[in-house]
Structure 1
Amino acid sequence: MREIDLRSFAAAHRDGALVIDVREPLEYVEGHVSGARLMPLGELSSHVGELPRNAPVYVVCASGNRSLSAAGFLSAAGIDAWSVVGGTRAWIHSGHPVTRGTQAAA
């Protein structure tokens, strides 16, 4: 499985990377990486066709466990997927801002 450290992810995020959040909707609205699209892990297979095959996709969850599983699934489907080590918790603890609510504002 491919993982990306928080520092490298932060740089990719600043550059406009595609981020998907595989947590459940309630977790997402409590705080998510700005710009992240909600695609709960249990529904991920129905969203594979929406993801690019020519650019990296960064997958985030709460701590990195679900995103690692999701990145493995996406990689097997031909997506250049990367799991963010430490997930949203690490993002917040590192001082990065989050968006609250249902909007995935950039």
Structure 2
Amino acid sequence: MPKTTDIATFAAAYEAGAPVVDVREPYEYEAGHLRGATLIPLGQLGARAGELDKNTTTYLICQVGQRSLRAVEALEAAGYDVINVDGGMSAWAAQGRPIERGPEQRPGA
């Protein structure tokens, strides 16, 4: 069974600096995302999984939690420590939590 967490539990981990991967498409990410989230669209996850640290718990988020759940299932099977954010960005925004707009800002880019 894939690991899943609610928004409140995720928010505490996020605020403590836990890594977050957004598996939505770039246009969705640009419309509203979490500050510091890494964008890896679900379709690219297989090729880019090596960007994740297998020894660090990473949270995966999408719009409502379905794509990120599929991503968690695949990454867990490959030995990654990942957790799905149930409700995704929709639940995050519905609680009035902060979001940023615009393209991904990669360090050093």
What is the TM-score with the length of structure 1 in the denominator? 0.95
Mapped partners of 1:104, 1:94: distance in 2? 25
Q: Deviations over 1:61-90 (max 9, x none)?
A: 000000000011111111101000100000
Match of 1:5 in 2: 6
Moved beyond 2 Å, runs of 4+: none
Superposition RMSD in Å: 1.1
Structure 1 counterpart SS, 2:59: strand
What is the TM-score with the length of structure 2 in the denominator? 0.92
Structure with greater strand share of residues: 1
Aligned positions, number: 105
Match of 2:25 in 1: 24
Cα offset for 1:103?
3.0
Matches within 5 A, 1:7-86: 7-86=8-87
Structure 1 counterpart SS, 2:73: helix
> Any unmatched runs of 5+ in structure 1?
none
> Any unmatched runs of 5+ in structure 2?
none
In percent, how many aligned pairs have the same letter?
Answer: 47
Cα offset for 1:41?
0.2
Q: Deviations over 1:16-43 (max 9, x none)?
A: 0100000000000000111111000000
Mapped partners of 1:76, 1:51: distance in 2? 14
Cα offset for 1:92?
0.4
Cα offset for 1:104?
4.5
Mapped partners of 2:54, 2:71: distance in 1? 15
